[in-house]
Structure 1
């Protein structure tokens, strides 16, 4: 009777079926092939919006859905590969460690098969498959919702450096006053801004106030934003203070104003005093583009500046990731897991 062939043809259905039986065996070459395919899909999903012109949500879904389908079976193949090497299943938890995961994957590809008795570790295996299932759900949900870190102070007081915000990505019409996340050029980290003018409108900035179609916004005093002068968030951003140069640990005070656009949209902004960017020439926003400003008018590059000098220029609607809805977590510390910098009062805060 003919034996089973040593090398079987690549088959997504077989990989899917075998991965759901995590007590079996997967050889090194088969695992390497699976890793190559999943790595390619992951790279396509992450880099597609940056590398390909005309990348749409449909393209993103086509790259993400196979990752969702294979997330649990892929973990099953990790456990099968550990079986094939004669290792215990709890080694798979090394994939949760940022640097150890790459070493573990290299070992899983390179190690020869073993004839030693396989270990079941059924409870750990079941837990690992459950975690993989949760990650698959998170990945599927990322097609509608995603989390994004805030690294600059351009959107104070609505967003602070060190915030992790929930961005709604579902099909939606961007409206004036929305706080949106968007991509600029080849940057991988998103930027944030408030939509001030839409395509087809004319907009200028006079005395720090937006002027839309010749009608200026209005402002009313809303007190002060008080914060400690020091490094904030993972980038170590130093706040811009309206009360001048202060020492580390001193009170940093900046005027807080309630700004109301001509259509009645209202939100809070910060003003640290007279600055060059308080004035911007009137421009016509092209169709399909947005004019965005930071709520901290003295802190950042937005549509008042071109991309070449650190601004955003006009923001193409197709580069908008989505609307920012709420703060998921917040820390002013250099490392988010440092409890000394946590801001528990911001958890769940709705962004308006």
Structure 2
């Protein structure tokens, strides 16, 4: 009984912003296969520093709510998609979890990412509303960095470069 009360208290405190982390449920498939719709994530509050490849939660720039996306470009980077392959600063990025065959013939950019901004993409590139639609987002709109999945398969998120 005490453990349940303690867990409930921690959950309420985190949702009220009193703790440096908060749980967040995903209701989109734009980050599959890394994150599925219905997954419960742990988000560490804060606005940086963000590394390329980090999964972040940001305020949606076009509507109410939040987005969970992968930061593929940071301030000063030039981001493009060339025949389905992510290219940052002229170099193809190894992303073994992303199948460029789903994006054959897709070209985007290049886009210069302003200082203090992030370029965000969903891992499901063919079904994601992301920075290709709304442009780079200011780091100030960032809620935090996704550090782990809490449910259904608890643990850290896989590294985007695992297998490179």
- Show structure 2 runs of 5+ residues with no match: 159-164
Of 125, 143, 146, the match for 1:321 = 143
- Counterpart secondary structure, 2:9: helix
Q: Distance in 2 between matches of 1:169 and 1:319?
A: 12
- Counterpart secondary structure, 1:273: helix
CA offsets, 1:97-140, max 9 Å, x none? xxxxxxxxxxxxxxxxxxxxxxxxxxxxxx9xx67x92664456
Q: Is 2:13 aligned against 1:185?
A: no
Higher-strand-fraction structure: 2
Report if the CA contact (8 A) 2:47-2:143 is conserved. Answer: no
Report if the CA contact (8 A) 1:271-1:296 is conserved. Answer: no
Higher-helix-fraction structure: 1
Residue in structure 2 matched with residue 349 of structure 1 by the alignment? 155
TM superposition shift of 1:218 = 3.6
Q: Distance in 1 between matches of 2:149 and 2:82?
A: 31
- Show structure 1 runs of 5+ residues with no match: 1-126, 220-257, 259-267, 307-312, 331-345
TM superposition shift of 1:170 = 4.2
TM-score by length of 1: 0.39
Q: Distance in 1 between matches of 2:13 and 2:68?
A: 26
TM-score by length of 2: 0.80
Q: Is 2:20 aligned against 1:134?
A: no
Residue in structure 2 matched with residue 273 of structure 1 by the alignment? 102
CA offsets, 1:25-76, max 9 Å, x none? xxxxxxxxxxxxxxxxxxxxxxxxxxxxxxxxxxxxxxxxxxxxxxxxxxxx
For residues 1-352 of structure 1, what are the structure 2 equivalents within 5 Å? 134=9, 137-138=13-14, 142-170=18-46, 172-185=48-61, 187-218=63-94, 258=96, 268-271=97-100, 273-274=102-103, 278-306=106-134, 313-330=135-152, 346=153, 348-352=154-158
CA offsets, 1:154-185, max 9 Å, x none? 11111000111110114641111100011123
Q: Distance in 1 between matches of 2:83 and 2:48?
A: 32
Report if the CA contact (8 A) 2:121-2:131 is conserved. Answer: yes
